[in-house]
Chain A
């Protein structure tokens, strides 16, 4: 194994998880390829649809440059990132239950947060790489006209988004430990984000009471931040309110989700079904 040149024990463990998953996933070549380019057809679909609508849509999209294609390109990329990353916690636990490796890993002295982060690191990194590809392709070949000058601000938004959805993902993984299959939280959150988070249309077209609900969804704040930075040429300060919402969400949900996951593991240890699937 190529060892990461770091002294921190926890970072070495995270690297070991990432290394394991890269080797494992790359051995499924077709699946790896499909995963990387799977949403390209959706991007094409919306590119042609936006041609149908015409280049400029005034009103709700004016804040984001007025063009539908770049607006929806960011929506699809972010929605894809969030839903896949959210699922990654539960699916990695599920996979390790089915493959029988969960018990083996849990007999090693890996702290729980490191185990959870390590199990989902690969999907997070892969998905970040994917959305980068889509946005670059959209820019170069479809004239999306994204403004990359504020890329450090994008990184800050991405990091806060990751911590915000990690809490939900860990809740989701707790369901998998307890009930093995079936995860209502993931479904509710994905559908809620898709409908109310502003993926395909701006939140401003929703009725007032739905807009209020959408304020409680991390997707809304992630998308608003991405679009304002990439399309509206704004900087980090202009999206501070959205960053605050994502940060607050992380602070509230992440510690609670860790407590919940620990509870789920303890229950599984009491029932003796940690490795069952």
Chain B
């Protein structure tokens, strides 16, 4: 029996999380929470540890130490339950079967989540429409543009309607109109459906309008965490500064 999650639950909890690959430390004492209905933006330079952090939450990488909870479950103890609760958008566009159509790809992954038949077909059609792939579902994946491939990745993450979405640069290659649709979708999923969303992106201006909270990750350490006004206050910047200004301030080498 899966645990029911209420809107006030802390859907994602990271507590003093560390990760090293051999001698190389990638994440240090990372601590944050994302509640249902909240969008947390994870920003950082290339190599800051964003993808590693998202992959730890998606059960693909094991942390060296520290605690992770997804919907109250520890991934190291109950991986299958955690996997039912997460939708993961990878920044990797190779993660589909190139000789199958977009729809066939989604049907396959839906089946792995136990979604079949009429319900599955309906959900796939709805998601293809929502993400700007209407009429494109029956093209083979190899015929998709880079942006379409990425859009299909977003649709896949939402197939099983998970309460937690982990998005690694989900709009990187999308055309402006589809990126706007995707942002609207993320916003609706958080605010109307109470999902917890962790989104890593380089596009700071898009995050400004979307995220409730921002975590600035620099060399594996969270340098700043909070909503925009709090971060402005901490940085001693005027309340109208951009996220880019905040990012520059908190990642400046002392």
Contact = CB atoms under 8 A, between A and B. Distances in A.
Contact of A24 (B62, B80, B97, B116): B97
Interface string A56-77: 0000000000000000000000
A99 B96 CA distance: 7
Contacts of B81: 109
A110 B112 contact: yes
Given A16-B108, A20-B108, 9 more contacts: A1-B104, A3-B117, A103-B55, A104-B156, A107-B60, A107-B83, A109-B84, A271-B21, A274-B61
B108 A19 contact: yes
Nearest to A19: B108
A132 interface: no
Contacts of A107: 58-60, 83, 86, 88
Given A9-B114, A106-B60, A101 B96 contact: yes
A126 interface: no
B171 interface: no
B175 interface: no
A266 interface: yes
B117 A104 contact: no
24 contacts: A1-B104, A1-B107, A1-B108, A15-B111, A16-B112, A19-B108, A20-B100, A23-B99, A24-B97, A100-B95, A104-B96, A105-B112, A106-B60, A107-B86, A108-B83, A108-B109, A108-B112, A111-B80, A269-B60, A269-B62, A270-B62, A272-B55, A274-B60, A275-B60
Nearest to A99: B94
Contacts of A105: 112
Interface string A10-26: 00110110011001100
Interface string A166-203: 00000000000000000000000000000000000000
Given A99-B94, A104-B109, A272-B52, A12 B99 contact: no
B92 interface: yes
Given A107-B83, A107-B88, A272-B52, A23 B100 contact: yes
Identify whether the interface residues of A are mostly helix, strand, loop, or mixed. helix
Given A100-B95, A103-B95, A275-B92, A13 B61 contact: no
A109 B60 contact: no
B112 A13 contact: yes
A27 B104 CA distance: 13
Nearest to B26: A272
A12 B110 CA distance: 11
Nearest to B52: A272
A101 B97 contact: yes
Nearest to B88: A107
Interface string A85-111: 000000000000001110111111111
A109 B96 contact: no
B113 interface: yes
B150 interface: no
B114 to A, nearest CB: 6
A153 B100 CA distance: 38
A130 B116 CA distance: 31
B60 A103 contact: yes
Interface in B87-105: 88, 90, 92-100, 104
A59 B176 CA distance: 79
Contacts of A106: 59-60
A109 B108 CA distance: 13
A206 B19 CA distance: 55
Nearest to A102: B95
Contacts of A28: 99
Contacts of A104: 90, 95-96, 109, 156
Contacts of B95: 100-101, 103-104
